[in-house]
Structure 1
Amino acid sequence: MALLSHTAEWVGSDSLEKWELVGSGGFGHVYKARHKDWGFDVAIKLLRDGVGYSSSALMPKEKALSEEVDHMDKASCEFVLRVYGIYEGNPPFGGISMQKGIVMELMSSGSVQDLLVVLRGPPPWPLTFRLAHQVALGMNFLHSRNLMHQDLKPSNVLLDDDLNAKLADFGLCRVSTSALNSNEKMTGEVGGTYKYMPPEAFDASYEPVRAFDRYSYGILLWTIVTGREPYQMAGHSLVALRIPEGDRPPCEKINQREVEGLEELVDLMKMCWDENPAKRPTFKECLEVTEEGFSKHKKEIHGAVHHVLTRLESHTSNQYSNIRVPLSFSPQTSDVSFSSFSERSKSHDYKDAVRVTTTKNTSTQESVSDSEKTLSDEDQAKFIDDNRAVLIQDVSEVMAIVDELGDMVHSETYSVIESKQTSQEKMRVLFQKTLRSGGVTVKASFYAVLKRHQPKLVERLSGIN
């Protein structure tokens, strides 16, 4: 395999300026830098631990980097992250004298995972349907080139300035075995994040085929629709045990009649995570569903994107740089372990308060209603403080809210709250033990969860008719 594709080029340190660390991952670190000659910012993904360069041989990680560039170039399209070349040089922050990396298109809005963290739930419906469609378009193109992704998950779906999706991180990408000759064998280990891996992939003898990506797409759809990470509290061993036995993320609380096209999208995600790989639809078949679904909400996409970008810009100015790579979803959107899956999932409401809801037989909604206007975290915290007495008196779904706050509520505090007999007593403990000392972040998280569970109470206290 050639080290450099015909469209990519070498990029040295002399061509780059204004370096800024914007994220980290298992492969290495990601930086933003300005290319002096091109005049625009690019993303530089550097190998972890500064793998050295030798003109006589490629080290294993360098070979993986070269393969990733080759695969990204082969899969280049509107819905796949563009690669510009390979970096080789001395970064200005010191360390190993010579480093290598990939020079890529900069996606200034982060990833789908970042989006779900900031929104503390799912995106507006028009954006949800567009993301589902654009990911399917990218994956269909990838498979048409006899490539697999093998690590399709929210953090590997990046977003541009207008929140359009592009597939990224081809570090695990391999040529599809279904496209190889019978005497050729797949090389490398089965990759992927275990929560997005199909049941057959937990078999040590499994060799990936394109059905792997189709399963991951189904779990990804669930994550986007609900705004939650699948089985967040379950470790690898438990997931490896229960997924082959047929367990999947719960869909019972998804109101499939809430918005036009959602029922078909839920049916699609279930088909994609079918235990039988042969029954999972191809991405070309997925496109028939996602295109139809997005077409029903295309007129509302500009209003939805504007609403979300406003939220992202507000959040970014307070806490983050342009690209964020969080370790996990925010606690209030966390899932639970399999052992308590059925009981605790009943308390979760998937209807997100910030979502621009487009239902059947409703007129086009270009703007966000007063009840959906975004408050800053500070304003949300102030709302909780100002209405403390009323909240203690009127909040009824206390344990459901506590469950969604997850690790923000200490285990001992959880036990005390659970032992109280009335909702008022439970809320009083929550205020005393968690909200009082938790600061703006915890109070804002409580506000978001409360708004999902008891929207009428929040509207009444906000003075919204």
Structure 2
Amino acid sequence: MSRIENYNEEQKLYLLYCIRGVVDTVEEERHHHHHAPKKMLSDSSTAVRLGDDVLQNWKLIGCGGFGAVYRAKQKDWRFDVAIKMLHTNDSERLWKEAKNMARASSNFVLRVFGVYQGFGPNVTTDERVGIVIEFMKRGTLESLLNDLAGPPPWPLAFRLAHQLALGMNFLHTMVPPLLHQDLKPSNVLLDDDLNAKLADFGLSRVTNSILTVETDSRSEKTTGDQEGTIAFIPPEAFQRPYEPLRSFDIYSYGIVLWSILTGKKTIFSLVVLRVPLGDRPPSHEVDCSGVSDLVKLMERCWDGDPDKRPSFRVSSHQVVFAHVSDCLKVTNGVFSRHELVIHNAVHQVLSKLDPVNGFNLTPLSNEEKANFVDNHRAYIIQKVSMAMAITEELGNMVHPETYSQIQAKATNHDKIRVLYSTILHSGGVNVKAAFYDGLETHEPNLLKRMSSNSSP
């Protein structure tokens, strides 16, 4: 057992906080685990259950205080899924999280496919349980900010802020409302195009104390997962008793906004003592040019008075209160002013994340290039962000009248649609091959992704 003298300041403060009233929750949890009968997830007849027979190519992709996350291929579905499993075989907690996520079916919430029951990739002697969820190739918002070593381009930052507000509003307007209670960058996952989805509903419940301290018997330290969580907890939650309200998630959202706009991590040191006294992340570290509306929203979200924080969406009975504002109104307004250039911002980030140095496409004949352009029409229309640059590459193949039509369109989607409905429709193999070459020049990462997806 480690001696207290060997703890650093953060660990001593965390221990002090535990002694002040949360440690009894730990004892309750221990009692529950030791004395409650073990139940597997098979008691739910409505859940899709997946076992070892349909999962292959397991790969560990994440690990934390909660447990581990694996990537595996579902043989029947022919695509990859993620399986989240706890260190302890706590089927009740996993099943509750699965039900919460299944209830919150939305474009901005991670999709749940079912539950896993089996022996895992290491073939243990005891069966294990897990949640089978959507696999998000781009990882977490936290990993994105780390990889960029700073904030994303503003259009992408604004879209992330808006999508998180949409997801949280969806949870808060459910009947009954669902509180996330663990909103932080590591619990925001990103798809191929860096769209955000909420994940990890392990704390989605109403409790008397928001912090459940899980003691690691191997180290008796606060884990990185706990340190990451505590920085997003509002000051009122450090008092006991405490019943979480929507304002809890609003506060966390404000801290997440700061992380998005600065690209930095919040500081855990002394947070237990400093947050109740009014300390917050430094707003001056945000480059306020063009983002003043979001900075003001961020500061309102982390107001020390829960009643003064905004809602994600103002309800009809709140309109009478002058101080009540609407997160979605602000985020939608900011993002809508930059929506036309979002594809350029995403392309910029993906180019940095996926450098194409050393990547060589298999040489194709003109006929093969033409077939590729035809077969990927829908994906190209949806994803291309450099439509005018590719059009310029086509030169005299584009009639001046067609060029004017393309130039007049507001979005890359519509510009590419014009190309497909005109010269790519009637121009023949050589025009389509030239279009493919334009993709190779201006959209190498996109072409790489399409080529990879086309591979058997």
Residues in 2 aligned to 1:254 and 1:266: alpha-carbon distance in whole angstroms? 8
Give TM-score scaled by structure 2 length. Answer: 0.61
Q: Is the 8 A contact 2:209 2:243 kept in 1?
A: no
TM normalised by structure 1 equals 0.60
Whole-Å Cα distance in 2 between the matches of residues 189 and 3 of structure 1? 29
The offset of 1:310, in angstroms, is 1.9
Higher RCO (C-alpha under 8 Å, 6+ residues apart) = 1
Q: Distance in 2 between matches of 1:5 and 1:83?
A: 15
Q: Paired residue for 2:180, among 149, 159, 175? A: 149
Give the CA deviation at 1:207: 1.6
Separation in 2, partners of 1:316, 1:215: 42
Contact 1:126–1:300 under 8 Å retained in 2 = yes
- Equivalent-residue separation in structure 2 for 1:4 and 1:159 (angstroms): 32
What residue number does 1:308 align with? 349
Q: Structure 2: how far apart are the matches of 1:3 and 1:218? A: 39
Tell me the residue number matched to 2:135.
106
Pick from 211, 220, 240: which aligns with 2:272? 240
- Measured after TM superposition, the shift of residue 302 of structure 1 is 0.4
The structure having more radius of gyration, on CA atoms, is 2
2:252 alignment counterpart: 216
Which structure is higher in helix share?
2
Q: 2:295 aligns with which of 252, 263, 266?
A: 266
Q: In the alignment, does 2:172 pair up with 1:133? A: no
Cα displacement string for residues 321-353 of structure 1 (whole angstroms, at most 9, x for unaligned residues)? xxxxxxxxxxxxxxxxxxxxxxxxxxxxxxxxx
The residue type equivalent to 1:72 in the other structure is M
The answer as to whether partners of 1:5 and 1:70 remain within 8 angstroms in 2 is no
Deviation at 1:137, TM superposition (A): 0.4
What secondary structure sits across from 1:41 in the alignment?
Answer: strand
For 2:42 and 2:161, the matched residues in 1 are separated by: 34
1:277 aligns with 2:316: no
Q: Determine if contact 1:7/1:73 at 8 Å carries over to the other structure.
A: no
Partner Cα distance (1:254, 1:4) in 2: 50
The residue aligned with 1:35 is 74
How far apart, CA to CA, are the structure 1 residues paired with 2:238 and 2:110?
29
Q: Which residue of 2 aligns with 1:460?
A: none
Structure-2 change in CA distance of 1:250 and 1:6 (3 Å): farther
What is the match of residue 62 of structure 2? 23
Partner of 2:202: 171
Pair 1:135–1:317, CA change in 2 (3 A): farther
SS at match of 2:277: coil
Where in structure 2 are there 5+ consecutive unaligned residues?
1-38, 213-225, 314-325, 360-384, 388-456
Q: What is the CA–CA distance in structure 2 between the aligned matches of 1:317 and 1:229, rounded to whole Å?
A: 33
- Separation in 2, partners of 1:292, 1:138: 17
Q: How well do the aligned residues superpose, as a CA RMSD in angstroms? A: 2.5
Q: In structure 2, how many angstroms separate the alpha carbons of the residues matched to 1:21 and 1:287?
A: 36
Q: Is the 8 A contact 2:210 2:237 kept in 1?
A: no
Structure 1 CA distance for aligned equivalents of residues 99 and 302 of structure 2:
29
Give the secondary-structure state (helix, strand or coil) at the position aligned to 1:152.
coil
Distance in structure 2 (CA, Å) of the matches to 1:23 and 1:84: 19
Q: Could you tell me how far apart the structure 2 residues matched to 1:77 and 1:36 are?
A: 26
In 1, the alpha carbon distance for the partners of 2:356 and 2:67 equals 25
Q: Could you tell me how far 1:123 is from its partner in structure 2?
A: 0.5
Shift in Å, 1:254: 2.7
Determine if the alignment matches structure 1 residue 207 to structure 2 residue 243.
yes
Deviations 1:393-438 (CA, angstroms, capped at 9, x unpaired)? xxxxxxxxxxxxxxxxxxxxxxxxxxxxxxxxxxxxxxxxxxxxxx
Give distance in 2, aligned partners of 1:151 and 1:4: 27
Between the aligned residues of both structures, percent identity stands at 53
Q: Residues 51-450 of structure 1 correspond to what in structure 2 (within 5 A)?
A: 51=89, 61-145=90-174, 146-174=177-205, 186=207, 189-190=210-211, 193-231=229-267, 234-235=268-269, 238-256=270-288, 258-259=289-290, 262-284=291-313, 285-314=326-355
Q: Secondary structure at the match of 1:170?
A: coil
Contact 2:156-2:345 at 8 Å conserved across structures: yes
3-state DSSP of counterpart to 2:282:
coil
Q: Secondary structure at the match of 2:70?
A: strand
1:201-251 superposed Cα distances (whole Å, 9 cap, x missing partner): 1113222111100000000000100001112xx43xx21111111111111
Report the count of equivalent residues: 294
Q: Label 1:288 to 1:122 Cα distance change in 2 as closer, same or farther (>3 A).
A: same
Contact 1:4/1:69, CA 8 A, preserved across alignment: no
Determine helix, strand or coil for the equivalent of 2:283. coil
Cα separation, 2, equivalents of 1:188 and 1:316: 51
2:15 aligned partner = none
